[in-house]
Structure 1
Amino acid sequence: MNQSISVSLTPSELSPECDLHQACSIIIDVLRATSVMATAGQSGVRRMITCENIHAAAQFADQAAIRPLLCGERHCKPIDGFDLGNSPAEYTPERVADRDLVLTTTNGTRAIHAAMRSRRLLAASFLNLDATLAAVRSEPHLQIVCAGTNGQISYEDVLLAGAIIDRLAPPDSDGSEPSGHIDDSARIAWSVWRQADGNTRPLQQSLRHSLGGRNLIEAGYEADLERCAQVGTIDGIVERAEPGKTVFEFRRLAVSK
Protein backbone atom coordinates (compact mmCIF):
# COMPACT_ATOMS: atom_id res chain seq x y z
CA MET A 1 0.00 0.00 0.00
CA ASN A 2 1.17 3.55 -0.71
CA GLN A 3 1.36 5.07 2.75
CA SER A 4 1.53 8.83 3.35
CA ILE A 5 3.40 10.18 6.37
CA SER A 6 3.26 13.67 7.83
CA VAL A 7 5.24 15.00 10.78
CA SER A 8 4.47 17.83 13.16
CA LEU A 9 7.76 18.87 14.75
CA THR A 10 5.78 20.46 17.60
CA PRO A 11 2.10 20.07 18.57
CA SER A 12 1.44 23.71 17.63
CA GLU A 13 1.67 22.67 13.98
CA LEU A 14 -1.61 20.80 14.41
CA SER A 15 -3.91 23.69 13.65
CA PRO A 16 -7.70 23.31 13.91
CA GLU A 17 -7.75 23.18 10.11
CA CYS A 18 -5.53 20.09 10.10
CA ASP A 19 -7.72 17.13 9.14
CA LEU A 20 -6.91 14.32 11.55
CA HIS A 21 -10.24 12.52 11.52
CA GLN A 22 -9.03 9.84 9.10
CA ALA A 23 -5.45 9.76 10.38
CA CYS A 24 -3.60 7.40 12.65
CA SER A 25 -1.52 9.67 14.88
CA ILE A 26 1.62 8.64 16.71
CA ILE A 27 2.63 10.80 19.68
CA ILE A 28 6.33 10.97 20.54
CA ASP A 29 7.82 12.23 23.80
CA VAL A 30 11.03 10.21 24.08
CA LEU A 31 12.13 12.05 27.25
CA ARG A 32 9.99 10.84 28.92
CA ALA A 33 6.19 10.52 28.79
CA THR A 34 5.78 7.97 26.00
CA SER A 35 8.74 5.95 27.31
CA VAL A 36 7.02 5.87 30.71
CA MET A 37 3.73 4.76 29.14
CA ALA A 38 5.43 1.86 27.35
CA THR A 39 7.28 0.87 30.52
CA ALA A 40 4.13 1.03 32.64
CA GLY A 41 2.31 -1.07 30.06
CA GLN A 42 4.98 -3.73 30.13
CA SER A 43 4.81 -3.70 33.94
CA GLY A 44 1.12 -4.60 33.87
CA VAL A 45 -0.70 -1.30 34.33
CA ARG A 46 -4.43 -1.63 33.65
CA ARG A 47 -5.21 1.75 32.09
CA MET A 48 -3.40 5.05 31.58
CA ILE A 49 -5.43 8.24 31.59
CA THR A 50 -3.67 11.38 30.38
CA CYS A 51 -4.57 14.91 31.48
CA GLU A 52 -3.35 18.26 30.22
CA ASN A 53 -2.99 19.85 33.66
CA ILE A 54 -2.47 19.02 37.32
CA HIS A 55 -5.93 20.13 38.42
CA ALA A 56 -7.69 17.84 35.92
CA ALA A 57 -5.51 14.90 36.97
CA ALA A 58 -6.22 15.42 40.67
CA GLN A 59 -9.93 15.90 40.02
CA PHE A 60 -10.11 12.67 38.03
CA ALA A 61 -8.38 10.78 40.82
CA ASP A 62 -10.69 12.21 43.47
CA GLN A 63 -13.79 11.18 41.52
CA ALA A 64 -12.67 7.64 40.67
CA ALA A 65 -14.32 4.77 42.52
CA ILE A 66 -10.91 3.20 43.07
CA ARG A 67 -8.20 5.80 43.38
CA PRO A 68 -5.64 5.61 40.56
CA LEU A 69 -1.96 6.43 40.90
CA LEU A 70 -1.30 10.10 40.26
CA CYS A 71 1.78 10.41 38.06
CA GLY A 72 3.75 13.00 36.17
CA GLU A 73 6.09 15.97 36.27
CA ARG A 74 6.48 19.64 35.69
CA HIS A 75 9.80 20.78 34.25
CA CYS A 76 11.30 17.32 34.86
CA LYS A 77 10.52 17.26 38.60
CA PRO A 78 7.85 15.15 40.38
CA ILE A 79 4.64 16.96 41.29
CA ASP A 80 4.00 17.58 44.99
CA GLY A 81 1.42 15.15 46.35
CA PHE A 82 1.62 12.78 43.38
CA ASP A 83 2.47 9.09 43.74
CA LEU A 84 5.03 8.81 40.96
CA GLY A 85 7.14 11.11 38.83
CA ASN A 86 8.10 10.67 35.19
CA SER A 87 11.08 8.31 35.34
CA PRO A 88 10.68 4.86 33.74
CA ALA A 89 12.58 3.45 36.73
CA GLU A 90 9.55 4.13 38.95
CA TYR A 91 7.11 2.08 36.88
CA THR A 92 7.88 -1.40 38.16
CA PRO A 93 5.41 -4.29 38.25
CA GLU A 94 5.41 -4.08 42.04
CA ARG A 95 4.24 -0.48 41.86
CA VAL A 96 1.82 -0.34 38.92
CA ALA A 97 0.59 -3.84 38.00
CA ASP A 98 -3.21 -4.02 37.81
CA ARG A 99 -3.52 -0.33 38.69
CA ASP A 100 -4.95 2.60 36.77
CA LEU A 101 -2.73 5.63 36.54
CA VAL A 102 -3.38 9.26 35.68
CA LEU A 103 -0.50 10.97 33.92
CA THR A 104 0.16 14.65 33.31
CA THR A 105 3.45 15.99 31.97
CA THR A 106 4.90 19.25 30.73
CA ASN A 107 4.94 18.25 27.06
CA GLY A 108 3.83 14.71 26.24
CA THR A 109 0.29 14.68 27.55
CA ARG A 110 -0.35 18.08 25.96
CA ALA A 111 0.72 16.64 22.61
CA ILE A 112 -1.74 13.79 23.11
CA HIS A 113 -4.58 16.24 23.66
CA ALA A 114 -3.56 18.25 20.60
CA ALA A 115 -4.12 15.13 18.48
CA MET A 116 -7.35 14.04 20.17
CA ARG A 117 -9.45 14.24 17.02
CA SER A 118 -7.37 11.57 15.29
CA ARG A 119 -9.19 8.40 14.25
CA ARG A 120 -6.52 6.29 15.94
CA LEU A 121 -3.98 7.44 18.53
CA LEU A 122 -0.80 5.70 19.71
CA ALA A 123 2.11 6.68 21.96
CA ALA A 124 5.54 5.60 20.73
CA SER A 125 9.03 5.47 22.18
CA PHE A 126 12.29 3.88 21.14
CA LEU A 127 11.44 1.15 23.65
CA ASN A 128 8.40 -0.06 21.71
CA LEU A 129 9.47 1.07 18.25
CA ASP A 130 9.22 -2.36 16.60
CA ALA A 131 5.77 -3.09 18.00
CA THR A 132 4.49 0.35 16.99
CA LEU A 133 5.75 -0.13 13.44
CA ALA A 134 4.02 -3.50 13.19
CA ALA A 135 0.76 -1.92 14.36
CA VAL A 136 0.68 0.91 11.81
CA ARG A 137 2.12 -0.56 8.61
CA SER A 138 -1.32 -0.90 7.01
CA GLU A 139 -2.47 2.62 7.90
CA PRO A 140 -2.97 4.75 4.76
CA HIS A 141 -2.08 8.02 6.49
CA LEU A 142 0.17 8.52 9.51
CA GLN A 143 0.48 11.76 11.42
CA ILE A 144 3.54 11.77 13.68
CA VAL A 145 3.40 14.40 16.43
CA CYS A 146 6.59 15.34 18.28
CA ALA A 147 5.92 16.70 21.76
CA GLY A 148 8.94 18.99 21.78
CA THR A 149 10.13 20.84 24.87
CA ASN A 150 8.28 23.91 26.11
CA GLY A 151 7.09 24.71 22.60
CA GLN A 152 10.49 24.19 20.99
CA ILE A 153 11.57 21.40 18.64
CA SER A 154 13.39 18.62 20.49
CA TYR A 155 16.10 16.61 18.75
CA GLU A 156 15.24 13.36 20.54
CA ASP A 157 11.63 13.39 19.31
CA VAL A 158 12.69 14.23 15.76
CA LEU A 159 15.16 11.32 15.89
CA LEU A 160 12.40 8.83 16.69
CA ALA A 161 10.11 10.32 14.03
CA GLY A 162 12.94 9.82 11.54
CA ALA A 163 13.50 6.24 12.66
CA ILE A 164 9.82 5.46 12.12
CA ILE A 165 9.92 6.93 8.63
CA ASP A 166 13.14 5.09 7.81
CA ARG A 167 11.53 1.75 8.66
CA LEU A 168 8.18 2.42 7.00
CA ALA A 169 9.46 4.26 3.90
CA PRO A 170 12.94 2.83 3.27
CA PRO A 171 15.23 4.75 0.90
CA ASP A 172 14.83 4.58 -2.86
CA SER A 173 17.33 2.77 -5.07
CA ASP A 174 20.10 5.33 -4.72
CA GLY A 175 19.52 5.80 -0.99
CA SER A 176 19.12 9.55 -1.23
CA GLU A 177 15.41 9.85 -0.45
CA PRO A 178 12.82 7.92 1.54
CA SER A 179 10.18 6.18 -0.52
CA GLY A 180 6.44 6.86 -0.35
CA HIS A 181 4.51 10.07 0.16
CA ILE A 182 6.02 12.18 2.93
CA ASP A 183 5.88 15.89 3.69
CA ASP A 184 8.87 18.17 4.17
CA SER A 185 8.86 17.88 7.97
CA ALA A 186 8.96 14.09 7.60
CA ARG A 187 11.86 14.44 5.16
CA ILE A 188 13.72 16.59 7.70
CA ALA A 189 13.15 14.00 10.44
CA TRP A 190 14.30 11.19 8.15
CA SER A 191 17.47 13.09 7.27
CA VAL A 192 18.24 13.73 10.94
CA TRP A 193 17.82 10.05 11.75
CA ARG A 194 19.92 8.87 8.79
CA GLN A 195 22.73 11.18 9.81
CA ALA A 196 22.60 10.00 13.43
CA ASP A 197 22.23 6.34 12.46
CA GLY A 198 25.30 6.56 10.24
CA ASN A 199 27.30 7.93 13.14
CA THR A 200 29.07 5.51 15.47
CA ARG A 201 27.83 7.47 18.49
CA PRO A 202 25.33 5.45 20.58
CA LEU A 203 21.75 6.69 20.74
CA GLN A 204 22.17 7.51 24.41
CA GLN A 205 24.90 9.98 23.52
CA SER A 206 22.65 11.63 20.95
CA LEU A 207 19.97 12.05 23.61
CA ARG A 208 22.49 13.72 25.91
CA HIS A 209 22.93 16.55 23.43
CA SER A 210 19.20 17.14 22.84
CA LEU A 211 17.22 19.89 24.52
CA GLY A 212 15.25 17.37 26.55
CA GLY A 213 18.40 15.46 27.44
CA ARG A 214 20.20 18.55 28.70
CA ASN A 215 17.20 19.44 30.83
CA LEU A 216 17.12 15.97 32.38
CA ILE A 217 20.81 16.04 33.17
CA GLU A 218 20.44 19.44 34.83
CA ALA A 219 17.50 18.12 36.87
CA GLY A 220 19.48 15.07 38.05
CA TYR A 221 17.88 12.41 35.84
CA GLU A 222 20.81 11.52 33.60
CA ALA A 223 20.22 7.79 34.16
CA ASP A 224 16.88 8.10 32.35
CA LEU A 225 18.71 8.81 29.10
CA GLU A 226 19.96 5.23 28.99
CA ARG A 227 16.56 3.89 30.04
CA CYS A 228 14.85 5.73 27.17
CA ALA A 229 17.52 4.87 24.57
CA GLN A 230 16.87 1.12 24.49
CA VAL A 231 15.43 0.20 21.09
CA GLY A 232 12.72 -2.41 20.66
CA THR A 233 12.91 -3.86 24.17
CA ILE A 234 9.14 -3.76 24.72
CA ASP A 235 6.92 -5.89 22.49
CA GLY A 236 3.70 -4.00 22.86
CA ILE A 237 1.85 -0.88 21.80
CA VAL A 238 0.25 1.93 23.78
CA GLU A 239 -3.03 2.88 22.10
CA ARG A 240 -6.10 4.90 22.96
CA ALA A 241 -8.86 2.57 24.06
CA GLU A 242 -11.77 4.47 22.49
CA PRO A 243 -12.31 7.62 20.41
CA GLY A 244 -12.80 10.90 22.21
CA LYS A 245 -11.12 9.85 25.43
CA THR A 246 -7.53 9.94 26.61
CA VAL A 247 -7.60 6.47 28.07
CA PHE A 248 -4.75 4.29 26.86
CA GLU A 249 -4.17 0.56 27.11
CA PHE A 250 -1.12 -1.58 26.49
CA ARG A 251 -1.39 -4.51 24.10
CA ARG A 252 1.37 -7.01 23.49
CA LEU A 253 2.28 -7.87 19.90
CA ALA A 254 4.28 -10.74 18.49
CA VAL A 255 7.12 -8.82 16.83
CA SER A 256 9.63 -10.53 14.59
CA LYS A 257 13.14 -9.33 15.28
Structure 2
Amino acid sequence: MKSVQVCLSPALLPFYELDDAVAVVIDIFRASSSICYGLANGAKAIIPVADLDECLPYRGNGCLVAAERNGEVVEGFDFGNSPFSYTKENIAEKTVVLTTTNGTQAIRRCLAAKRVVIGSFLNITTLSDWLRKQDHPILLVCSGWKNHFSLEDTVFAGAVVNRLKTDGTVIDDAAQAAESLYLEARGDLATYLRKSSHHQRMQRLHIEQDIAFCLREDLVSVIPVLEGKELVCLNEPAAPVGRP
Protein backbone atom coordinates (compact mmCIF):
# COMPACT_ATOMS: atom_id res chain seq x y z
CA MET A 1 0.00 0.00 0.00
CA LYS A 2 1.56 3.31 -1.10
CA SER A 3 2.15 6.01 1.50
CA VAL A 4 2.34 9.69 0.52
CA GLN A 5 3.20 12.36 3.10
CA VAL A 6 3.85 16.08 2.86
CA CYS A 7 6.43 17.83 4.99
CA LEU A 8 5.32 21.47 5.09
CA SER A 9 8.71 22.83 6.19
CA PRO A 10 12.28 21.49 6.37
CA ALA A 11 12.14 22.28 10.09
CA LEU A 12 9.69 19.37 10.44
CA LEU A 13 11.95 16.80 8.77
CA PRO A 14 13.24 15.35 12.09
CA PHE A 15 9.69 14.07 12.69
CA TYR A 16 9.62 11.96 9.51
CA GLU A 17 11.18 8.59 8.73
CA LEU A 18 13.54 9.25 5.83
CA ASP A 19 15.48 5.98 5.69
CA ASP A 20 13.14 4.12 3.35
CA ALA A 21 11.49 7.12 1.70
CA VAL A 22 11.76 8.75 -1.69
CA ALA A 23 12.10 12.44 -0.80
CA VAL A 24 10.85 14.92 -3.39
CA VAL A 25 12.31 18.35 -2.70
CA ILE A 26 10.11 21.24 -3.86
CA ASP A 27 11.12 24.89 -4.23
CA ILE A 28 8.82 26.20 -6.96
CA PHE A 29 10.04 29.84 -6.81
CA ARG A 30 12.75 29.01 -7.98
CA ALA A 31 15.48 26.49 -7.15
CA SER A 32 13.73 23.23 -8.07
CA SER A 33 12.37 24.76 -11.27
CA SER A 34 15.82 26.00 -12.32
CA ILE A 35 17.46 22.67 -11.44
CA CYS A 36 14.98 20.79 -13.63
CA TYR A 37 15.42 23.25 -16.47
CA GLY A 38 19.20 23.31 -16.19
CA LEU A 39 19.62 19.54 -16.34
CA ALA A 40 17.16 19.36 -19.24
CA ASN A 41 19.32 21.90 -21.03
CA GLY A 42 22.42 19.76 -20.77
CA ALA A 43 24.13 20.68 -17.52
CA LYS A 44 26.54 17.88 -16.60
CA ALA A 45 25.52 18.12 -12.95
CA ILE A 46 24.24 20.57 -10.37
CA ILE A 47 25.86 20.37 -6.94
CA PRO A 48 23.61 21.76 -4.17
CA VAL A 49 25.46 23.21 -1.19
CA ALA A 50 24.14 24.89 1.93
CA ASP A 51 26.56 27.77 2.43
CA LEU A 52 28.23 30.40 0.31
CA ASP A 53 31.65 29.34 1.58
CA GLU A 54 31.08 25.82 0.24
CA CYS A 55 30.92 27.23 -3.30
CA LEU A 56 34.29 28.94 -3.16
CA PRO A 57 36.57 25.88 -3.60
CA TYR A 58 34.82 25.17 -6.90
CA ARG A 59 35.53 28.60 -8.36
CA GLY A 60 38.11 28.38 -11.13
CA ASN A 61 37.96 24.58 -11.21
CA GLY A 62 35.84 24.28 -14.31
CA CYS A 63 32.54 24.86 -12.49
CA LEU A 64 30.03 27.68 -12.57
CA VAL A 65 29.15 28.96 -9.11
CA ALA A 66 25.62 30.20 -8.48
CA ALA A 67 24.24 31.78 -5.34
CA GLU A 68 20.94 33.37 -4.31
CA ARG A 69 20.00 34.95 -1.01
CA ASN A 70 16.68 36.62 -0.29
CA GLY A 71 15.72 36.41 -3.96
CA GLU A 72 18.79 38.18 -5.31
CA VAL A 73 22.03 37.06 -6.97
CA VAL A 74 24.95 37.17 -4.54
CA GLU A 75 27.67 39.53 -5.73
CA GLY A 76 30.71 37.78 -7.16
CA PHE A 77 28.89 34.65 -8.34
CA ASP A 78 28.16 33.69 -11.95
CA PHE A 79 24.38 33.82 -11.46
CA GLY A 80 21.62 32.98 -9.01
CA ASN A 81 18.63 30.67 -9.35
CA SER A 82 16.59 32.32 -12.08
CA PRO A 83 15.58 29.76 -14.73
CA PHE A 84 16.61 32.30 -17.36
CA SER A 85 20.23 31.70 -16.34
CA TYR A 86 19.94 27.94 -16.88
CA THR A 87 19.71 27.94 -20.66
CA LYS A 88 21.60 25.62 -22.96
CA GLU A 89 23.87 28.46 -24.04
CA ASN A 90 24.96 29.10 -20.45
CA ILE A 91 25.32 25.68 -18.90
CA ALA A 92 25.41 22.83 -21.43
CA GLU A 93 28.14 20.31 -20.48
CA LYS A 94 29.02 22.33 -17.37
CA THR A 95 28.75 21.63 -13.67
CA VAL A 96 26.94 24.24 -11.59
CA VAL A 97 27.54 24.57 -7.85
CA LEU A 98 24.41 26.14 -6.39
CA THR A 99 23.39 27.56 -3.02
CA THR A 100 20.03 29.18 -2.37
CA THR A 101 18.07 30.57 0.55
CA ASN A 102 15.74 27.58 0.80
CA GLY A 103 15.91 24.87 -1.86
CA THR A 104 19.49 23.68 -1.48
CA GLN A 105 19.13 23.79 2.30
CA ALA A 106 16.16 21.41 2.03
CA ILE A 107 18.06 19.07 -0.29
CA ARG A 108 20.94 18.83 2.17
CA ARG A 109 18.54 17.98 4.99
CA CYS A 110 17.15 15.04 3.00
CA LEU A 111 20.44 13.18 2.58
CA ALA A 112 19.29 10.30 4.80
CA ALA A 113 16.46 9.44 2.39
CA LYS A 114 16.49 6.31 0.25
CA ARG A 115 16.47 8.59 -2.79
CA VAL A 116 16.25 12.35 -3.28
CA VAL A 117 14.62 13.77 -6.42
CA ILE A 118 13.53 17.26 -7.42
CA GLY A 119 10.00 18.32 -8.31
CA SER A 120 8.57 21.31 -10.14
CA PHE A 121 5.64 22.13 -12.36
CA LEU A 122 8.10 21.93 -15.24
CA ASN A 123 8.46 18.14 -14.78
CA ILE A 124 5.26 17.28 -12.88
CA THR A 125 3.92 14.59 -15.22
CA THR A 126 7.22 12.75 -15.67
CA LEU A 127 7.84 12.96 -11.92
CA SER A 128 4.35 11.77 -10.96
CA ASP A 129 4.47 8.87 -13.41
CA TRP A 130 7.80 7.76 -11.93
CA LEU A 131 6.64 8.17 -8.32
CA ARG A 132 3.59 6.05 -9.06
CA LYS A 133 5.90 3.13 -9.83
CA GLN A 134 7.97 3.38 -6.65
CA ASP A 135 7.62 0.78 -3.91
CA HIS A 136 8.90 3.11 -1.18
CA PRO A 137 6.99 5.70 0.86
CA ILE A 138 6.85 9.11 -0.82
CA LEU A 139 7.71 12.22 1.18
CA LEU A 140 7.04 15.55 -0.54
CA VAL A 141 9.31 18.12 1.13
CA CYS A 142 8.32 21.78 0.81
CA SER A 143 11.39 24.01 1.06
CA GLY A 144 9.31 26.94 2.28
CA TRP A 145 10.86 30.28 3.17
CA LYS A 146 13.47 30.18 5.93
CA ASN A 147 11.73 27.19 7.54
CA HIS A 148 8.28 28.81 7.30
CA PHE A 149 5.32 27.46 5.33
CA SER A 150 5.09 28.57 1.70
CA LEU A 151 1.93 28.51 -0.36
CA GLU A 152 3.45 27.75 -3.75
CA ASP A 153 5.43 24.71 -2.58
CA THR A 154 2.41 23.32 -0.75
CA VAL A 155 0.11 23.80 -3.75
CA PHE A 156 2.59 21.88 -5.90
CA ALA A 157 2.77 19.10 -3.31
CA GLY A 158 -1.02 18.96 -3.44
CA ALA A 159 -0.92 18.64 -7.22
CA VAL A 160 1.37 15.62 -6.91
CA VAL A 161 -0.82 14.09 -4.16
CA ASN A 162 -3.81 14.51 -6.47
CA ARG A 163 -2.00 12.63 -9.24
CA LEU A 164 -0.77 9.83 -6.98
CA LYS A 165 -3.82 9.24 -4.83
CA THR A 166 -5.81 6.07 -5.40
CA ASP A 167 -8.23 4.13 -3.21
CA GLY A 168 -5.29 2.24 -1.75
CA THR A 169 -3.06 5.23 -1.05
CA VAL A 170 -2.42 6.24 2.55
CA ILE A 171 -1.97 10.00 2.85
CA ASP A 172 -1.41 12.10 5.94
CA ASP A 173 -3.25 15.23 7.06
CA ALA A 174 -0.65 17.55 5.53
CA ALA A 175 -1.12 15.79 2.18
CA GLN A 176 -4.90 16.15 2.53
CA ALA A 177 -4.51 19.86 3.23
CA ALA A 178 -2.06 20.35 0.36
CA GLU A 179 -4.41 18.64 -2.08
CA SER A 180 -7.30 20.83 -0.91
CA LEU A 181 -5.22 23.95 -1.60
CA TYR A 182 -4.32 22.64 -5.04
CA LEU A 183 -7.94 21.87 -5.90
CA GLU A 184 -8.85 25.42 -4.93
CA ALA A 185 -5.97 26.87 -6.96
CA ARG A 186 -5.81 24.71 -10.07
CA GLY A 187 -8.27 26.72 -12.16
CA ASP A 188 -5.84 29.65 -12.21
CA LEU A 189 -2.58 28.95 -10.44
CA ALA A 190 -0.99 32.26 -11.35
CA THR A 191 -3.82 34.31 -9.86
CA TYR A 192 -4.12 32.11 -6.78
CA LEU A 193 -0.42 32.34 -5.97
CA ARG A 194 -0.28 36.12 -6.28
CA LYS A 195 -1.16 36.24 -2.59
CA SER A 196 1.87 34.16 -1.61
CA SER A 197 4.57 36.05 0.25
CA HIS A 198 7.34 34.87 -2.07
CA HIS A 199 5.37 35.94 -5.14
CA GLN A 200 5.11 39.42 -3.63
CA ARG A 201 8.81 39.37 -2.74
CA MET A 202 9.72 38.52 -6.32
CA GLN A 203 7.44 41.25 -7.64
CA ARG A 204 9.33 43.79 -5.53
CA LEU A 205 12.53 42.52 -7.14
CA HIS A 206 10.93 42.93 -10.62
CA ILE A 207 11.36 39.26 -11.55
CA GLU A 208 7.73 38.47 -12.34
CA GLN A 209 8.81 36.70 -15.54
CA ASP A 210 10.43 34.02 -13.38
CA ILE A 211 7.11 33.42 -11.62
CA ALA A 212 5.27 32.81 -14.88
CA PHE A 213 8.00 30.50 -16.13
CA CYS A 214 8.04 28.39 -12.95
CA LEU A 215 4.30 27.72 -13.27
CA ARG A 216 4.58 26.20 -16.76
CA GLU A 217 3.63 22.53 -16.68
CA ASP A 218 5.53 19.73 -18.43
CA LEU A 219 8.13 21.85 -20.14
CA VAL A 220 10.76 19.17 -19.52
CA SER A 221 10.80 15.41 -18.99
CA VAL A 222 13.81 15.01 -16.72
CA ILE A 223 13.87 14.00 -13.07
CA PRO A 224 16.87 15.35 -11.19
CA VAL A 225 18.17 12.75 -8.75
CA LEU A 226 20.88 13.13 -6.13
CA GLU A 227 23.80 10.78 -6.82
CA GLY A 228 26.45 11.31 -4.18
CA LYS A 229 26.79 15.08 -3.98
CA GLU A 230 25.53 15.77 -7.50
CA LEU A 231 22.10 16.22 -9.00
CA VAL A 232 22.00 14.46 -12.36
CA CYS A 233 19.30 13.31 -14.77
CA LEU A 234 17.44 10.17 -13.82
CA ASN A 235 16.13 10.06 -17.39
CA GLU A 236 16.90 11.83 -20.64
CA PRO A 237 14.56 14.43 -22.16
CA ALA A 238 12.02 12.76 -24.41
CA ALA A 239 11.39 15.92 -26.39
CA PRO A 240 13.14 19.20 -27.21
CA VAL A 241 13.28 21.60 -24.30
CA GLY A 242 11.14 24.72 -24.56
CA ARG A 243 12.64 28.16 -24.09
CA PRO A 244 11.72 30.75 -21.46
- Contact kept in structure 2, 1:113 and 1:246, CA below 8 Å: no
- Contact kept in structure 1, 2:63 and 2:96, CA below 8 Å: yes
Instruction: Name whichever of 86-95 and 207-216 sits farther off.
Output: 207-216
Q: Distance in 2 between matches of 1:210 and 1:189?
A: 15
Unmatched 5+ stretches in structure 2: 240-244
Aligned to 2:56: 58
Are 2:110 and 1:115 equivalent residues in the alignment?
Answer: yes
SS at match of 1:149: coil
Q: CA deviation at 1:220?
A: 1.6
CA RMSD, Structure 1 to Structure 2 (Å): 1.6
* The one of 183, 196, 208 aligned to 1:194: 183
* The one of 141, 148, 157 aligned to 2:144: 148
Aligned to 2:18: 20
Are 2:86 and 1:91 equivalent residues in the alignment?
Answer: yes
Aligned to 1:135: 130
* The one of 23, 44, 47 aligned to 1:46: 44
Aligned to 1:240: 226
Q: Distance in 1 between matches of 2:67 and 2:236?
A: 24
Q: CA deviation at 1:166?
A: 0.1
Q: CA deviation at 1:18?
A: 3.1
- Contact kept in structure 2, 1:52 and 1:110, CA below 8 Å: yes
SS at match of 2:76: coil
The aligned amino acid for 2:116 is: L
* The one of 27, 40, 59 aligned to 1:29: 27
The aligned amino acid for 1:92 is: T
- Contact kept in structure 2, 1:208 and 1:225, CA below 8 Å: no
The aligned amino acid for 1:116 is: L
Q: Distance in 2 between matches of 1:205 and 1:46?
A: 35
Q: CA deviation at 1:114?
A: 1.1
TM-score under structure 1 length normalisation: 0.88
After TM superposition, list the pairs within 5 Å mapping 1:151-230 onto structure 2. Answer: 151-170=147-166, 180-197=169-186, 200=187, 202-230=188-216
- Contact kept in structure 2, 1:131 and 1:253, CA below 8 Å: no
The aligned amino acid for 1:130 is: T
- Paired residues in the alignment total 237
Deviations 1:155-203 (A, max 9, x none): 0000100000000005x6xxxxxx6101111111011111112xx4x22
Aligned to 2:66: 71
- Contact kept in structure 1, 2:47 and 2:97, CA below 8 Å: yes
- Contact kept in structure 1, 2:68 and 2:81, CA below 8 Å: yes
The aligned amino acid for 1:114 is: R
- Contact kept in structure 1, 2:8 and 2:174, CA below 8 Å: yes
- Contact kept in structure 2, 1:207 and 1:225, CA below 8 Å: no
Q: CA deviation at 1:205?
A: 2.1
Q: Distance in 2 between matches of 1:112 and 1:101?
A: 15
